[in-house]
Amino acid sequence: MPMKKAIHLTGKDLAGMVQLRPQDIGKYVIMPGTPDRLTALVKNIKNPMKNFSFMEHTMYTGEYNGVRVTGMNGGMFSANTAITTEIVCSIQGENIIRLGSCGALREDIKVGDLILATASMRGDGVTPYYVDSNFETVPDPQLTGALEKAAKKLGATLHTGKVWSTDALLRETRELVEGKAAAGAIAVDMVSSALLTIAQLNKVKAASLLAVSDNVMTGEMGFTNPAYYIAETTMIKVALEAIKILEGT
């Protein structure tokens, strides 16, 4: 019997299914992971309109400082973030700023500090379907540079470096963590590799800014530490300030 042709669902197909168009999003798409962080972001956007809802993901589009900006909770894990990133890329998104959380892989990095990814070490299960092991996943330098300038302007404690992404949160053994740190990773998250890889393949500018929620090396936990929640607010301010820098306003 002849083999059936494989079905290949693309980001464009997904965008059509959820009925999104390029004019529905702003020049800048800010993608926090959680709905709570999205709610905090939207409070800073003028006249936000809810123009998309898909499963647990919601999109609002409005203005910030005269520029159209979209906020969307992109996902907390590589699999759902891959879907939302594909959708944004397929409707011709120009700039994606990820606002997430991470664990520090250096003892001197504190809970509440910010991490700006300069490259991604892929340990997720999504990106092997997109690229081979030799592919170098990197953020957009212009977008990343603007975020770094914004953080310094606002007085945030910022560290820049490689971020390792993994899907297996409970399999971060000492040997594995120490190996990634020795290879140059300064933080670990569960999203940056998928978002940055998919954006890079679609020639969409993307960057990943993360708040440190814990320190894997010292065992410091931060989800009950006020410094972490302050950092979540600071991330939003940094992202919006970066937009002002990029727009020259």
pLDDT tens-digit readout, 168-194: 888 888 889 999 999 999 999 999 999
pLDDT of residue 19: 75
212-247 exposure pattern, b = at least 16 Cβ within 10 A, e = fewer: bbbbbbeebebeebebbbebbebbbebbbbbbbebe
pLDDT tens-digit readout, 145-171: 999 999 999 999 999 999 999 998 888
pLDDT tens-digit readout, 22-36: 889 999 999 999 999
Kindly report the pTM of this predicted structure: 0.92
- Neighbour tally for 206: CB within 10 Å: 28
The domains found in the chain, sorted by start residue, are: 22-247 (3.40.50.1580)
CA torsion 9-85-127-112 (nearest 10°) is -160
For the chain, what is the mean pLDDT? 92
Tokens 């999205």 appear where?
A: 38
Which residues, other chains included, contact 80 with Cβ-Cβ below 8 Å and sequence gap of 6+? 55, 56, 57, 74
Q: Is the pLDDT of residue 93 over 80?
A: yes
